Amino acid sequence: MKNLRGLFLAFLIFSLCISDFPQAQDQQGFINLDCGLQAKESPYTEPVTKLTFTSDSDFIKTGKSGKIQNVPGIDYIKPYTVLRYFPDGVRNCYTLSVKQGTNYLIVAMFTYGNYDNLNIHPKFDLYLGPNIWTTVDLQRKVNGARAEIIHIPRSTSLQICLVKTGTTTPVISALEIRPLRNGTYIPQSGSLKNLFRVYLTNSKDIIRYPEDVHDRLWTPFFIPEWKLLRASFLVNISDNEYDIPENVLVTAATPANVSSPLTITWNVETPDDLVYAYLYVTEIQSLKDNETREFNITAGPNVSYGPISPEESELYNLFNRSPVKCEGVTCHLKLIRTPSSTLPPLLNGIEVFTSVEFPQSESNTNDVVAIKNIETNYGLSRVSWQGDPCVPQQLLWDGLTCEYTNMSTPPRILSLDLSSSEITGIIVPEIQNLTQLQKLDLSNNNLTGGVPEFLAKMKSLLVINLSGNNLSGSVPQALLDKNLIIVSNYLCMILGPSQSQPSIETKKRRFTYAEVLAMTNNTERVLGKGGFGMVYHGYINGTEEVAVKILSPSSAQGYKEFKTEVDLLLRVYHTNLVILVGYCDEKDHLALIYQYMANGDLKNHLSGNTIMSWVERLNIVVDAAQGLEYLHIGCKPLIIHRDVKSSNILLDDQLQAKLADFGLSRSFPVGGETHVSTVVAGTPGYLDPEYYQTNRLSEKSDVYSFGVVLLEMITNKPVINHTREKPHIAEWVKFMLTRGDISNIMDPKLQGVYDSGSAWKALELAMTCVNPSSLERPNMSHVVHELKDCLISENKRTGGGKDTTRSLDINLSFGTDTKPEAR
């Protein structure tokens, strides 16, 4: 069958129409947008359909109006004279108010019409919310294209977006939305993308509104192998569930050869297309007593339905509830007369659709409302701030980062960067409605007023940058009492509630080599061996204990790692990162002076004689995870440690953990890249295998290494042991898990004293972190959240209370010459 695309059925459902829904009223619920029409010319009544069209200017913030030249073959739609084109940005979106859960017919019309006199036909993608609907190819369809879908919105806001995919400029001519009866056109899943809708006649008339109350477009179709039937009586269908127009039902096709089947053939785009078909059949001939019309319907060797005996004044809606694949890309539908029938089959009309899945969930509704209110209050006009804020990921709004769990879970906004955005006024309260926000950057604007206390109530917030504004007053005490990094014009600090602990002077100082020798008493007491030299015990001012790492002259990589560590630790601050008190860079003498950590590193502490309880271990890994989380989220650009291992997690006298040894760390380049290509560096056993194989480094490489540390903490086993059946700890644990017994995995030193649920949760988290695929690993925020849950479970077992975070054990004071850059 020429000019028809796409196919049909799994099995057909026979349904006599029962009307429980009133006929659609005149244009009730219709949205008719003439795209590019000036507001002053709106509204107007289209002369053929009598539909009222309005300008689209109130439904989209971007785009320009263009005047098209004459295009043949589209007069039946509306008198095209203008269009809207989008020279700026990648995604440009219409936002329309709809009823959630209502079935809608959505039609978008596209005509190029050489509006720009360049004669370059565009090609681009069309999205419904965060999911692709179709590709609009006006290079192939030079006279215009029509995209139609039947879709049930998931919210009260429907966003239809044009997305630039190449060098050409997207255009749109009209956008039309019509509500359908609920309960009609319901696929097994997804939405219904129209392939064709025809009524069988030799007429040239196209049927649409007002004959079709839903403004569906019915195209006439007929072929020589058929015989045309016209109604021999007044067709009066009292029960018409799908509101099929009478003009569609007064004619029908039947095979010219009464012994032949009525055959319809069309093509789909791919062999995997899933097809739905809706057939409309009613008897329009007055049959004699000795005449019968009965037929079966088949669609390939495995699909059949019948027999069907249509009757006068009854409309048979025949459709498949489950989708069907065609054989190859060609679809065959046959209506075959039964042996007992004296008359051939007939068909009045048919609609055919393919199923389109929209798997990506829209962003969390509350987050979307909050960010749009922030946008409104600050009068922002960013081109990229259209459509869904978080998805698809490649179209993420500028200044946002989001958390993606899986496609069916709504993404959450994790950070908001409005720095240098020329915003004025106060810090608006709508920000607190971003309940998962971890980082807020409002720097370099013209904000006034005070720092609001609601920021202290934002449980997930880690970093606040308020520098470069005209804020007045002091930081609220409730905010100071939180474990936050607060950046103002002269301040970058982590503040804790405890004011009684001794402080360490952390104004960054450059020491002479003579001072280094003096503070270590000529390197009298060795603490251990670091990444590029020996570590010695020392004192500053005779009272403050420090650890001094002195570069070995024989270290080939030492100077590079030294410079990296100094540069990084001079710029970042967090309670779970080791504090750099100062450094020495004097000719051949290089040294780093750190805060002293009385309990050494986690690796040695695990293997020592002291037995750490399960709650102590959980506290340590929470601390280490928070340090990594800060590097990944609290720093701009983000920082990847690259050498996370148990020997680089140091413990103070209260067993608070701090990440150390940043000599291999790397900052991500700006520009939103998800990875960098770099020479592989790290420690065997802890090294991300994906990074090792591809040289593609991302923050998920740190997540893998942390997962190995977590397994060490749980098992107290060596990371690599060639005497085991599975040498690597992750493979060994995976093997042991097949037995389903956690007791053989947990460190025997614990003697079973732990909450089993907490242990299982930590173990499962560790195994997720060491997944060979970085895409399947969680981010560090998720890791922190899960470990805190483990800690809560263990505290409930021991009656240790609900507080799962430590108070800071030191206060940091910085000179006003400190200007942090890692933000």
What is the distance between the alpha carbons of residues 524 and 78, in angstroms, rounded to a whole number? 91
Asked whether residue 700 is marked as a ligand-binding residue, the answer is no
H helix and E strand count, the chain: 12, 45
- Is residue 571 within 8 Å of 820, Cβ to Cβ? yes
Q: Provide CB contacts within 8 A for 543, sequence distance 6+.
A: none
Beta strand extents in 516-644 (DSSP E only): 526-529, 533-540, 544-551, 580-586, 589-595, 639-640
What is the distance between the alpha carbons of residues 636 and 668, in angstroms, rounded to a whole number? 9
**Which residues on adjacent β-strands are paired with residue 149?**
106, 193
User: Is 200 exposed, middle or buried, given 0-12, 13-18 or 19+ CB atoms closer than 10 A?
Assistant: buried
Report how far apart, in Å, the C-alpha atoms of 65 and of each of 55, 385, 432 are.
Answer: 11, 21, 38
- Is residue 356 within 8 Å of 193, Cβ to Cβ? yes
Is residue 137 annotated as a catalytic residue, yes or no? no
- Is residue 150 within 8 Å of 72, Cβ to Cβ? no
345: cis peptide before it, omega within 30°?
no
Q: Which amino acid is at 542?
A: G
What is the distance between the alpha carbons of residues 636 and 401, in angstroms, rounded to a whole number? 12
What are 242's two structure tokens? 């799908």
What is the distance between the alpha carbons of residues 504 and 811, in angstroms, rounded to a whole number? 7
Beta-strand pair 52-55/31-34:
parallel
- Is residue 532 within 8 Å of 561, Cβ to Cβ? yes
The string over 597-634, giving b where at least 16 C-beta atoms fall within 10 Å of a residue's C-beta and e elsewhere, is: bebbbbbebbeeeeebebbebbbbbbbbbbbbbbbbbb
- Is residue 341 within 8 Å of 259, Cβ to Cβ? no
What is the distance between the alpha carbons of residues 706 and 812, in angstroms, rounded to a whole number? 27
What is the distance between the alpha carbons of residues 533 and 547, in angstroms, rounded to a whole number? 12
Of residues 237, 196, 243, 194, the one with CA closest to residue 220: 196
Q: Provide CB contacts within 8 A for 20, sequence distance 6+.
A: none
- Percentages of the chain per state (helix, strand, coil), in multiples of 5: 20, 30, 55
User: Is 234 exposed, middle or buried, given 0-12, 13-18 or 19+ CB atoms closer than 10 A?
Assistant: exposed
Q: Which amino acid is at 634?
A: G
Maximum pairwise Cα distance, the chain: 120
Q: Which amino acid is at 810?
A: I
Beta-strand pair 424-425/446-447:
parallel
DSSP state of 734: H
Q: Provide CB contacts within 8 A for 571, sequence distance 6+.
A: 820, 821, 822
- Is residue 218 within 8 Å of 199, Cβ to Cβ? yes
Q: Which amino acid is at 156?
A: T
Q: Which amino acid is at 138?
A: L
Scanning 180-236, the segments in alpha helix (DSSP H) are none
What is the distance between the alpha carbons of residues 118 and 136, in angstroms, rounded to a whole number? 19
Q: Which amino acid is at 758?
A: S
Of residues 698, 684, 761, the one with CA closest to residue 729: 684
Report how far apart, in Å, the C-alpha atoms of 44 and of each of 75, 78, 328, 545 are.
Answer: 17, 11, 46, 82
What are 345's two structure tokens? 């089959």
* Catalytic pick among 388, 643, 702, 747: 643
| Positions at the binding site for ATP | 549
> Where in the sequence numbering do the catalytic residues fall?
643
| Positions at the binding site | 549
